[in-house]
Copies of this chain bind each other. A is one copy, B any other.
Amino acid sequence: MRRGIATVSLSGVLADKLDAIAAAGFDGVEVFDNDLVASPLSPSEVAARCADLGLSIDLFQPVRDVEGVPPERFDAVLHRFRAKLAVMADLGATTVLCCSNVGADTVDDPDLSAAQLHALGELAAEQGVTIAYEALAWGRHVSRVGQAWDVVRRADHPAVTLAVDTFHLLSRGDDGSALAGVPGDRIGFLQVADAPLLDMDVLEWSRHFRCFPGEGTLDVVGVVAATLATGYHGPVSLEVFSDVVREADPAVTARDAMRSLVFLEEQLGATALPPAPDAVDPAFLEVPGSPAVPPLLTALGFAPAGQHRSKPVTWWRNGEAHVVVNDGAATDPALGVVAAPVSGVAERAKALLWPAVDRTRGSGEALLPGITSPSGLHVFVSDRPGGADDWRGDFEATDGAGHGDLLGIDHVVVAVPDLRLNEEVSFLRTLLALDAGAAEEFMEPHGRLRSRAFRPALGSLRMVVNVEESERAAGSGITQVALASPDVRATVRALRAAGVPLMPVPANYYVDLDARFALPPDLLADLREHGLLYDRAGDGELLHAFTAPLAPGFHVEVLERRGGYDGYGSAGTHVRLAAQRR
């Protein structure tokens, strides 16, 4: 697959965009006309620059509103098209994207559109240029790929072909089957973009919320596969604009873009990457050491269970919940996961350009590769318990090993800056093969919280990624770890006895809870007595409590899932946020 990207997909000015695109290893670019118009580089200088960088110019785009034009105004279109062909000659570009007319006075007549495209095709063919005609999802009369293909067929000119754009096609509710019967040599170009499912005007959706394949929810793979199945063998080129990429560093965007294409190729079976892990489970939470940590862990019911053989790292344990305290280099909290085969995951990370954490490894110690997520989270990958690269093998077990009865780490919550959310989603999906749940939104006392939960197809890891849109946001990193208890009331009593400060739950909450669920009085009294939040879904129940912040922006949740409850208690989130912000 020939890998391309449009310059409109990156922030900055044209020269910087080309540098970033080349550095990320793309084969070619689409030159966005506005980028060129605003650039001090002449078209031939841009051509030379691309040649130096090893980039082909695969497309010049877009030339707008060229068909369906009232006949008396078509001369102006010919003038404009000729001028752009002259620019393309200097650029050395041989394909031009023409998108369907959006003008209010567009004529609704496929034969007129076809005749006009035919005339433009004649001009284009004179200098060896091919037109790729695209149905903009908000085109006045041509807004679906089938309509564009109909016009192309009627135009009946070798230099007039169809452009396929996954966003435009999917956003109008079509899928790959819309390309059935289109010969591959009649498709002139393939543009690729994904997007989260949003219920809004499609033009606004397109402008502000596109993302790279794998970061949204559209079936991009299906449309690309259908396009390739026609016999199309031109570039697969990313055209993504959004509020995020417009502010991001172009080098970061270009790398993220390249990764999305590699992942897309894997999904298409066009590239073999080291495989993603079959199952992912939580292994441990790593926290930086400080004098406050041992008493706090003790109060939470943890006890030292082992000492690292070569590093100042202590393993603490409460039942099946594990925390390692790192008294070495100061770090932020990090996450250990069980994801075998360990070496395969490490190689997969490398193939996908996810950066490794630089840690020394003692001889004979477990391979415990660390990978840094876009938001800066360090994820360490361990073998299954008892495997050759089980993280526990690096520890000398101590006498106090293991007491308490926690069931394990239920989930961790990671705060991510808004501009890094798409990349973080990409990290969790491409490296660990986690599936994203629906986006939820909560009102904070001083802003908003957007939240998405992630889980693997197999294994018990649960991660929640939050974007806090508030000036008082805690920043990024792990903001919460939730510990699963077989009896959360007993856990709360033990925490209270140990003096761990818990988040107060307002009395009004229980009045509302009873209004909503008509709870048995015993249960309600129990919840109130233990300061527990509660949720119910079907036969499942969640009982949970939160500590007060134990460090700025960090707290612990203890929870008990009953009857297969599968959520996170989001109905009580506004109460928690208000209590925590008070």
Seen from chain A, the residues whose Cβ lies within 8 Å of a Cβ on chain B are 11-13, 33-34, 36-40, 42-43, 76, 79-80, 83-84, 86-87, 199-201, 203-204, 241, 243, 246-247, 443-448, 469-471, 504, 506-509, 511-512, 514-516, 518, 574-575, 577-579, 581-582
Contacts and interface: CB of A to CB of B under 8 A. Distances in A.
A391 to B, nearest CB: 39
A578 B469 CA distance: 29
Nearest to A63: B515
The 3 closest A-B pairs by CB, nearest first: A83-B515, A38-B578, A199-B201
A246 B443 contact: yes
Contacts of A34: 443, 574
B38 A506 contact: yes
B39 A578 contact: yes
Given A13-B578, A83-B511, A243 B38 contact: no
B445 A11 contact: yes
Given A12-B445, A34-B574, A38-B578, 12 more contacts: A13-B582, A33-B512, A37-B506, A38-B506, A38-B574, A79-B515, A80-B516, A83-B515, A200-B201, A243-B448, A246-B446, A247-B447
Contacts of A582: 13, 40
Contacts of A581: 13
Nearest to A578: B38
A70 to B, nearest CB: 17
A12 B518 CA distance: 30
A12 B514 CA distance: 25
Nearest to A90: B511
Contact of A247 (B446, B504, B578): B446
A74 to B, nearest CB: 13
A17 to B, nearest CB: 9
Given A34-B574, A38-B575, A582-B13, A43 B508 contact: yes
A512 B518 CA distance: 69
B37 A79 contact: no
Nearest to A200: B200
B447 A87 contact: no
Contacts of A575: 37-38
A13 to B, nearest CB: 5
A243 B469 contact: yes
B515 A12 contact: no
Contacts of A518: 76, 79
A246 B33 CA distance: 39
A33 B506 CA distance: 13
A506 B577 CA distance: 51
Given A40-B506, A574-B38, A511 B87 contact: yes
A231 to B, nearest CB: 35
25 contacts: A11-B445, A12-B446, A13-B578, A34-B443, A34-B574, A36-B508, A37-B506, A37-B509, A37-B574, A38-B508, A40-B504, A40-B506, A42-B508, A80-B516, A83-B512, A84-B515, A87-B508, A199-B203, A200-B204, A243-B469, A246-B446, A246-B470, A247-B446, A247-B447, A247-B469
Contact of A446 (B11, B37, B470): B11
A445 B40 CA distance: 14
Given A83-B511, A574-B38, A579-B38, A13 B470 contact: no
A89 to B, nearest CB: 12
A446 to B, nearest CB: 5
B447 A246 contact: yes
Nearest to A205: B200
A37 to B, nearest CB: 5
Contacts of A577: 38
A240 to B, nearest CB: 13
